[in-house]
């Protein structure tokens, strides 16, 4: 056993760190650090900086314009960007659609679409879930009926993250209604300015707008926008979910979260003494840190398996379950550390003279509530347990 | 033994529950709870007319209640209805004024709103950390997250005068008040005191303040039980009607067992709240109330997180009632001493 990173990996980490120090704009990292909302322009700006460096499409092979990183290099990049408070790379085009087209798309589709993802000309969003098809995704009902050279789409998608910024959407649609539900699903690409599409915002529990519902009424889409064969959408969906799960442990975020939580508990006082000196609260942080130390190694073990033996297996569901619980515990402790000062709804009145806490803490309660999503999206933790018990334990 | 409510309290509970369902329905509540003044002031007068505030004070102070079970009756109903009105501050202020033997007619008839300013930025829960001072008829310091303070006309402020902690009355118009809304609805304020004129209500007010805070904690426990009952109804309805994989999701044993665990916690929460209500005015009041608030803190958060998880994304949307219930369930812990603060109070006895 040797738990150290190789010389090349360590050098790579230093290179990433130096790049971030020089190229990550302070205005952006400050917004990320304080949990403030990022504008579309902020995300576009970071996208362009990474694209110039060739570090944008972290999972893409070199031939398509990716950096050709190993899973471990990609992991190091994720750790360092989380540490530096870089904006999250919006995953829908880069981490999801890109790999799908590289594996299932035609050469024409690859040439037409992939460069526009890199350049930022296209912002993709995801049309998967429906009001009646959440955990049971295969029961989706949005219908695509072939009519001449087109498909005509009718139905409704929901939880479309950052759809308000997008000009394109990739969708799972039903193209066959008999037989097993999984066998009648297709994967199709849709221009959001096609007539018949309406996007409506969904306001979330903490008041923010990051997800949307999308309504399709007689939307005509050229048949060439189909990816793969008709009715093979479920295969693509499963492939894509594996990609969605690669950074699902969020270890980089948790490592940074631990640093911030300790700083917060040193700063916040109870009866004039730093909260971190309270053994009950310190014990809560310590238990979370212990879980995180183990998680870092679990994550690395699975990364090395993926690196040496190819694609990750169902055991990545362990990363999703434990990784999200650790992050949610951190959010909970950050909210709890502030006590009543976590309760105010963030507003302009809460800065300056009347501020109750540092700028980086004003969103603590909102982040706690918003991040309850971590154990729900991308296949809820219950669905992950189903996958594990079936595929890994063969129960 | 008899665990049923008296006839009077049952009538009060019924009429308040009906009033909230009719006038303060969840849609209306969501509309008013997040914009200043963060509750419906017209309905405040209606609630006062119903006798809700009189139920919080004993007869000798002009009310018709004031016992632990009166407090839990009112707040259980407020919790079920997710009511954002600032009744908590009214209860604690009434208790302080009863201790002081002061006239509280304008409080009980709802014509003047009171808030109790106790916690500070570096001492949110404990009286020992209070740094606001009283000298020469004036108060100086800052009180933080004063519940209902955004909309109060009178503040009762806990401050140090030498070695003692006293209670002082301040007009809102004499102080600098920065009001704001809370993430779970309702309002609060920062209260800035800079040689602000104040009237002494109780010179040595520590015992009176501890009693008022205990009543406040008991009230929060009862509110949480009401919230948990209402949330559980929403959850069970969802488990019975939401279909995935061709069946209602409540048919999955993985969820059935978790739903049963929640009901167990709710019953435990109800029991310890009943126990705490029965101990108000007794020697072990502080210890039992601390136990109750600790258990409530744990149970309410579990109820909230599990309800969200079993619903999935829909419970994270603003337009559903359940998202507002789950926020209140979590944020109750940070009021008047969280789970850990109460645990320390319970543990403090062990060394003796």
Block mean pLDDT (10 aa), chain B, length 352: 91 96 96 97 96 97 96 98 98 98 97 97 95 97 98 98 97 96 97 98 98 98 98 98 97 98 98 98 97 98 98 97 98 98 94 72
Check B182 against A345: CB less than 8 A apart. yes
- Give which of A23, A189, A18 is closest to A92, Cα–Cα: A189
Whether A132 contacts A104, CB under 8 Å? no
* Same domain, residue pair B71 and B179: no
* Same domain, residue pair B198 and B255: no
Q: How far apart are CA A124 and CA B334, in angstroms?
A: 41
Residue B337: φ, ψ to 5°: 105, 115
B340 is a domain residue: yes
- Give which of B68, B70, B114 is closest to B94, Cα–Cα: B114
Q: How far apart are CA A264 and CA A161, in angstroms?
A: 30
Instruction: Please name the fold of domain A124-230.
Output: Butyryl-CoA Dehydrogenase, subunit A; domain 2 (2.40.110)
How many degrees, rounded to 5, is the angle at CA A255 between CA A251 and CA A259? 165
Residues of chain A contacting residue B250, judged by C-beta atoms under 8 Å apart = none
B177 is a domain residue: yes
- Locate CATH 2.40.110.10 in chain A: 124-230
pLDDT digits 0-9 by tens, A64-123: 999 999 888 999 999 999 999 999 999 999 999 999 999 999 999 999 999 999 999 999
Which residue among the candidates A79, A130, A213, A244 is catalytic per the annotation?
A244
Residue A349 has pLDDT above 70, yes or no: no
Check A159 against B323: CB less than 8 A apart. no
Check A343 against B121: CB less than 8 A apart. no
Asked if the C-beta of B333 comes within 8 angstroms of chain A's C-beta atoms, the answer is yes
* Same domain, residue pair B174 and B48: no
Which of B49, B83, B108 delimits the end of a domain? B108
Asked if the C-beta of A387 comes within 8 angstroms of chain B's C-beta atoms, the answer is no
List the single best residue of A271, A355, A395 to mutate versus B (max B Cβ within 10 A): A271
Q: Say what the pLDDT of residue B336 is.
A: 98
Check B124 against A369: CB less than 8 A apart. no
Check A271 against B128: CB less than 8 A apart. yes
Which of B146, B173, B205 delimits the end of a domain? B205
Name the token pair of A112. 């037409």
Asked if the C-beta of A115 comes within 8 angstroms of chain B's C-beta atoms, the answer is no
User: Could you tell me which residues come within 8 angstroms of residue A66 by beta carbon, excluding any fewer than 6 positions away?
Assistant: A57, A58, A59, A60
Give mean pLDDT, residues A223-234.
97
Asked if the C-beta of B248 comes within 8 angstroms of chain A's C-beta atoms, the answer is no
pLDDT digits 0-9 by tens, A191-204: 999 999 999 999 99
Q: Which of B145, B255, B340 sits opposite A340 (nearest CB)?
A: B145
Residue A34 has pLDDT above 90, yes or no: no
Residue numbers of B between 164 and 203 with CB closer than 8 Å to A: 178-184, 188, 190, 192
* Same domain, residue pair B217 and B340: yes
Whether B119 contacts A270, CB under 8 Å? no
Q: What does DSSP assign to residue B319?
A: T
- Give which of A171, A123, A149 is closest to A220, Cα–Cα: A149
Residue A324 has pLDDT above 70, yes or no: yes
User: Could you tell me which residues come within 8 angstroms of residue B102 by beta carbon, excluding any fewer than 6 positions away?
Assistant: B201
Q: Say what the pLDDT of residue A357 is.
A: 85
Q: Tell me the count of A-B CB pairs closer than 8 A.
A: 146
Asked if the C-beta of B124 comes within 8 angstroms of chain A's C-beta atoms, the answer is yes
* Same domain, residue pair B90 and B151: no
List the single best residue of B35, B119, B124, B129 to mutate versus A (max A Cβ within 10 A): B124
Exposed, middle or buried, A9 (CB in 10 Å: 0-12/13-18/19+)?
Answer: middle
Q: Treating both helix axes as pointing N-terminal to C-terminal, what angle do A26-34 and A40-53 enclose, rounded to 10 degrees?
A: 120
Asked if the C-beta of A331 comes within 8 angstroms of chain B's C-beta atoms, the answer is no
Handedness of CA B292, B294, B300, B302 (dihedral sign): negative
Give mean pLDDT, residues A282-305.
94
SS3 assignment, position A35? coil
B215 is a domain residue: yes
Q: Which of B188, B246, B308 sits opposite A343 (nearest CB)?
A: B188
CA distance B352 to chain A (A): 19
What CATH number has the domain bearing residue B59? 1.10.540.10
Distances (CA, A) of A87 to A72, A125, A334, B225: 20, 17, 20, 41
Which of B205, B235, B261 delimits the end of a domain? B205
- Give which of A20, A164, A139, A8 is closest to A79, Cα–Cα: A20
Q: How far apart are CA B307 and CA B263, in angstroms?
A: 12
Whether B224 contacts B296, CB under 8 Å? yes
DSSP character string of A328-389: HHHHHHHHHHHGGGG-BPP-GGGSGGG--S-GGGTTHHHHHHHGGGGGTSSS-HHHHHHHII
List the single best residue of B183, B301, B302, B337 to mutate versus A (max A Cβ within 10 A): B183
B45 is a domain residue: yes
* Same domain, residue pair B217 and B332: yes
Q: What does DSSP assign to residue A92?
A: I
Please provide the average confidence, as pLDDT, over all residues in chain A: 94
Q: How far apart are CA A97 and CA A91, in angstroms?
A: 9
CA distance B141 to chain A (A): 13
Residue A239 has pLDDT above 90, yes or no: no
Strands B154-161 and B138-147, sheet pairing: unpaired
DSSP-H helix ranges across chain B: 7-23, 26-33, 41-50, 68-80, 87-100, 105-108, 206-241, 253-279, 285-311, 321-331, 339-347
Q: Say what the pLDDT of residue A244 is.
A: 64
Q: Say what the pLDDT of residue A19 is.
A: 98
pLDDT digits 0-9 by tens, A17-28: 999 999 999 999
Q: Say what the pLDDT of residue B239 is.
A: 98
Q: How far apart are CA B154 and CA B131, in angstroms?
A: 20
B119 is a domain residue: yes
Residue numbers of A between 309 and 328 with CB closer than 8 Å to B: none
Q: Say what the pLDDT of residue B120 is.
A: 96
| Burial A170-198, CB ≥16 within 10 A → b, else e | bbbbbbeeeeebeebbbbbbbebeeeebe
Residue numbers of B between 126 and 155 with CB closer than 8 Å to A: 126, 128-129, 144-145
Give the residues across from A130 on adjacent strands.
A133
CA distance A232 to chain B (A): 20
B19 is a domain residue: yes
Q: Return the residue of A nearest to B119 by Cα.
A: A340
CATH number given to A245-392 = 1.20.140.10
Give the residues across from B32 on adjacent strands.
none
Strands A168-174 and A124-127, sheet pairing: parallel
State the DSSP H helix or E strand holding residue A292, giving kind and residue range, or none if neither. helix A279-309
A244 given a catalytic annotation:
yes
Q: How many domains does chain B have?
A: 3
Whether A88 contacts A56, CB under 8 Å? no
* Same domain, residue pair B83 and B193: no
Q: How far apart are CA A362 and CA A334, in angstroms?
A: 10
Asked if the C-beta of A128 comes within 8 angstroms of chain B's C-beta atoms, the answer is no
B2 is a domain residue: no
Residues of chain B contacting residue A132, judged by C-beta atoms under 8 Å apart = 243
CA distance B106 to chain A (A): 29
Q: How far apart are CA B344 and CA B128, in angstroms?
A: 14
Q: What is the pTM of this model?
A: 0.96
Whether B59 contacts B48, CB under 8 Å? no
What CATH number has the domain bearing residue B233? 1.20.140.10
CA distance A356 to chain B (A): 7
Look-up: residue for tokens 């509110």?
Answer: B223
SS3 assignment, position B159? strand
Q: How far apart are CA A345 and CA A348, in angstroms?
A: 10
Domain of residue B322 covers 207-347
Check B244 against A381: CB less than 8 A apart. no
């Amino acid at each position: 056993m040797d738990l150290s990173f190789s010389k090349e990996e360590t050098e790579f980490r230093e290179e990433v760190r130096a790049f971030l120090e020089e190229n990550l704009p302070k205005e952006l990292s400050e917004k990320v650090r304080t949990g403030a909302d990022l504008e579309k322009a902020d995300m576009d700006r970071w996208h362009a900086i990474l694209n110039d460096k060739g570090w944008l499409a972290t999972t893409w092979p070199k031939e398509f314009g990716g950096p050709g990183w190993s899973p471990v290099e990609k992991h190091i990049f994720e750790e360092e960007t989380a540490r530096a408070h870089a904006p999250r790379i919006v995953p829908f085009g880069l981490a999801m659609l890109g790999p799908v087209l590289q594996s299932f798309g035609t050469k024409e589709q690859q040439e037409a679409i992939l460069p526009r993802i890199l350049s930022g000309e296209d912002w993709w969003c995801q049309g998967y879930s429906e009001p009646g098809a959440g955990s049971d995704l295969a029961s989706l009902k949005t219908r695509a009926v072939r009519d001449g050279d087109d498909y005509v789409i009718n139905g409704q998608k929901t939880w479309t993250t950052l759809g308000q910024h997008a000009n394109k959407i990739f969708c799972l649609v039903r193209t066959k209604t008999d037989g097993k539900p999984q066998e009648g699903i297709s994967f199709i690409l849709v221009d959001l300015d096609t007539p018949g599409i309406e996007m409506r915002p969904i306001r979330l529990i903490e008041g923010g707008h990051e997800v949307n519902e999308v309504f399709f009424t007689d939307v005509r889409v050229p048949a060439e926008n189909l990816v793969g064969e008709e009715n093979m959408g479920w295969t693509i969906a499963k492939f894509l979910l594996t990609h969605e799960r690669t950074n699902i442990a969020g270890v980089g975020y948790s490592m940074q979260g631990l640093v911030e939580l300790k700083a917060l508990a040193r700063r916040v006082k109870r009866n004039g003494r730093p909260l971190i000196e309270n053994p009950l609260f310190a014990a809560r942080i310590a238990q979370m840190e212990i879980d995180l130390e183990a998680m870092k190694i679990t994550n690395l073990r699975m990364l090395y398996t993926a690196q040496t033996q190819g694609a990750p297996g169902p055991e990545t569901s362990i990363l999703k379950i434990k990784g999200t619980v650790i992050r949610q515990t951190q959010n909970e402790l950050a909210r709890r550390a502030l006590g009543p000062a976590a309760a105010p709804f963030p507003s302009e009145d809460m800065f300056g003279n009347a501020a109750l806490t540092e700028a980086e803490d004003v969103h603590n309660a909102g982040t706690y509530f918003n991040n309850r999503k971590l154990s729900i999206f991308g296949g809820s933790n219950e669905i992950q347990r189903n996958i594990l018990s079936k595929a890994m334990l063969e129960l | 033994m008899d665990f049923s409510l008296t006839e009077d309290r049952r009538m009060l509970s019924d009429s308040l529950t009906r009033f909230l369902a009719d006038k303060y329905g969840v849609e209306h509540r969501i509309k008013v709870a997040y914009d200043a003044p963060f509750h419906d002031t017209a309905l405040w007068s209606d609630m006062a007319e119903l006798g809700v505030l009189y139920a919080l004070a004993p007869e000798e102070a002009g009310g018709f209640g004031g016992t632990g079970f009166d407090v839990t009756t009112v707040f259980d109903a407020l919790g079920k209805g997710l009511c954002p009105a600032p009744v908590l501050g009214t209860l604690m202020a009434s208790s302080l004024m009863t201790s002081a033997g002061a006239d509280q007619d304008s409080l009980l008839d709802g014509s003047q709103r009171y808030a109790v300013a106790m916690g500070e930025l570096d001492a949110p829960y404990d009286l020992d950390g209070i740094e606001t001072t009283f000298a020469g008829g004036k108060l100086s310091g800052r009180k933080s997250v004063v519940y209902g303070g955004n909309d109060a006309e009178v503040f009762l402020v806990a401050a140090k005068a030498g070695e003692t902690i006293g209670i002082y009355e301040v007009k809102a118009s004499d102080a600098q008040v920065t009001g704001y809304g809370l993430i779970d609805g309702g309002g609060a304020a920062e209260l800035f005191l800079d040689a602000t004129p104040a009237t002494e209500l109780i010179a040595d007010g520590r015992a009176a303040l501890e009693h008022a805070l205990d009543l406040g904690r008991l009230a929060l426990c009862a509110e949480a039980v009401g919230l948990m009952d209402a949330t559980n109804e929403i959850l069970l309805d969802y488990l019975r009607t939401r279909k995935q994989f061709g069946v209602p999701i409540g048919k999955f044993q993985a969820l059935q067992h978790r739903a049963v665990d929640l009901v167990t916690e709710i019953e435990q929460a109800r029991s310890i709240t009943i126990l705490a209500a029965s101990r108000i005015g007794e020697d072990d009041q502080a210890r039992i109330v601390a136990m109750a608030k600790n258990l409530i803190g744990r149970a309410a958060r579990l109820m909230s997180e599990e309800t969200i998880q079993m619903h999935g994304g829909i419970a994270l949307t603003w337009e559903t009632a359940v998202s507002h219930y789950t926020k209140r369930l979590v944020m109750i812990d940070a009021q008047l001493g969280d789970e850990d603060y109460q645990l320390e109070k319970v543990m403090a006895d062990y060394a003796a």
